[in-house]
Amino acid sequence: MLPAHFQSLAHTVRLKILERLVETGEQTVNDLARHLGMSQPRVSWHLGMLRRGGAVRQRREGRLVYCSIDLEAIRRQQLLFWELLNQKKRIGVNL
């Protein structure tokens, strides 16, 4: 799961989406597309990457899809990463 998490964060558009969700708390896909000046399908594609990486959650209300940042999932991924680094340090791998 760590590779998907880091891949989801490795694009400026996805980082801009996360910034916007931190600022607003929750946004529809259409609102995000307007804010970013991008097409809705392209924003949805980036949101899919963020969702698979555990950074964003989505909920549907009728035809609207609302997105928000998933802080708990991000914290879990960070903990896994730090555990990996600490494990490498214990066995003497130079980082």
Tens-place pLDDT, residues 32-59: 999 999 999 999 999 999 999 999 999 9
Token digits of residue 80: 């896994």
Alpha carbon distances (Å) from 87 to 23, 54, 72, 75, 92 = 35, 23, 22, 18, 9
Q: What is the CATH number of domain 2-90?
A: 1.10.10.10
For the chain, what are the domain ranges? Answer: 2-90
Percent of the chain with pLDDT over 90: 79
pTM of the full predicted structure? 0.83
Structure confidence at residue 73 (pLDDT): 93
Mean pLDDT throughout 76-88?
88
Structure confidence at residue 75 (pLDDT): 93
Mean pLDDT lowest among 46-50, 53-57, 72-76, 90-94: 90-94
Specify the DSSP class assigned to residue 26. -
Question: What Rg do the C-alpha atoms of the chain give, in angstroms?
Answer: 15
Partners of residue 60 on adjacent β-strands? 65
